[in-house]
Amino acid sequence: MARPITLFTGQWADLPFDQVCRLASEWGYDGLEIACWGDHFEVDRALADDGYVDRKREQLAEYDLRVYAISNHLVGQAVCDHPIDERHRDILPARIWGDGEPEGVRRRAADEIRDTARAAAKLGVNTVVGFTGSSIWHTVAMFPPVPPSMIERGYADFADRWNPILDVFAEVGVRFAHEVHPSEIAYDYWTTKRTLEAIGHRPEFGLNWDPSHFVWQDLDPVNFILDFADRIYHVDCKDAKVRTGDGRRGRMASHLPWADLRRGWDFVSTGHGDVPWEDCFRALNTIGYDGPLSIEWEDAGMDRLVGAPEALRFVRGLAFDAPSSAFDAAFSSNR
């Protein structure tokens, strides 16, 4: 199967793209999952400048790297979000934020995700990874009491905003891989089922499997792979460590910053948390997933220059291929 192992550049966008390419190549990565922020991949320039995409390909080739997916989480977040506030202003390009009027921000974000599909096709990439945002995430505590009709409107809002976007994905032959993640319309097992139902299970919309968001919610990342086998369009290898059990640290993390040991859980570098990686890779073998394994480095307690190469070694050591035949085939006399 020889799945490529890539580095997601989102947490490296403070560095010039050329420098990230050099580091990834020196460490031995096969390619990149390129973020659409910093100077890593600029959607507007990719469509407006005929030479932009060629220059990106040349940069990658110089370091013997390939691109398997591009990611536009930050803009995708604004498509459905409520409320739209200063958090979005901090992550969005100025041309998407504009005057900050919420519905205008949502419309411009939706237009940018359509353009992201077009830019991906121009780059020769068939998968865009990202977020959707959610108009109902703020109701997750269910108090004040949330009527069922409000939840229904949330899924209808998602479908109304994303179906026209997905029409463009269908036109250009690109898939959207939604990262199942708290704060999104699909954040756990049942909300993922409901999200897929809301858009009629259309094939342009699948999932980015990232187990770090499952373990602290007490979800089984292995069964998620098996149950959503036909929707696993991309894989991010990120880890999380749960530290509840002392009667003080809870799942909601208490509004404490990353790496604060009073938190009930934290993102940690791949291999340092509670994700059952070997079982997960065996499940990916079972469903025949042959796409990239993209290492998303997030660990506020570890230097990324240590974490990224170490995570690559860890994944290479476990992400073995499925056998070509069963071990007990050697017992048969019918050979």
Question: 330 pLDDT exceeds 60?
Answer: no
The model's confidence at residue 322, banded by pLDDT at 50, 70 and 90, is confident
The structural domains of the chain, ordered by start, are 5-325 (3.20.20.150)
In what helix (H) or strand (E) does residue 293 lie, and over which residues does it extend? strand 293-295
In what helix (H) or strand (E) does residue 127 lie, and over which residues does it extend? strand 127-130
Q: What is the pLDDT of residue 321?
A: 81
Closest CA to 33 of 13, 53, 58, 15: 13
Q: pLDDT, tens digit, for every residue of 36-48?
A: 999 999 999 999 9
> Cβ of 303: how many Cβ atoms within 10 Å?
9
Q: What is the pLDDT of residue 320?
A: 84
Question: 328 pLDDT exceeds 60?
Answer: no
Q: pLDDT, tens digit, for every residue of 43-81?
A: 999 999 989 999 999 999 999 999 999 999 999 999 999
* 127-145 mean pLDDT: 98
- Name the average pLDDT for the chain: 96
> Whole-model pTM above 0.85?
yes
Question: 333 pLDDT exceeds 90?
Answer: no
> What are the residue ranges of helices labelled H in the chain?
17-27, 43-48, 52-62, 73-80, 86-91, 94-97, 102-123, 148-172, 189-198, 212-215, 221-227, 277-287, 304-318
Q: What is the pLDDT of residue 96?
A: 98
Q: What is the pLDDT of residue 329?
A: 58
Going by DSSP bridges, is the β-strand pair 5-8/232-237 parallel, antiparallel, or unpaired?
unpaired
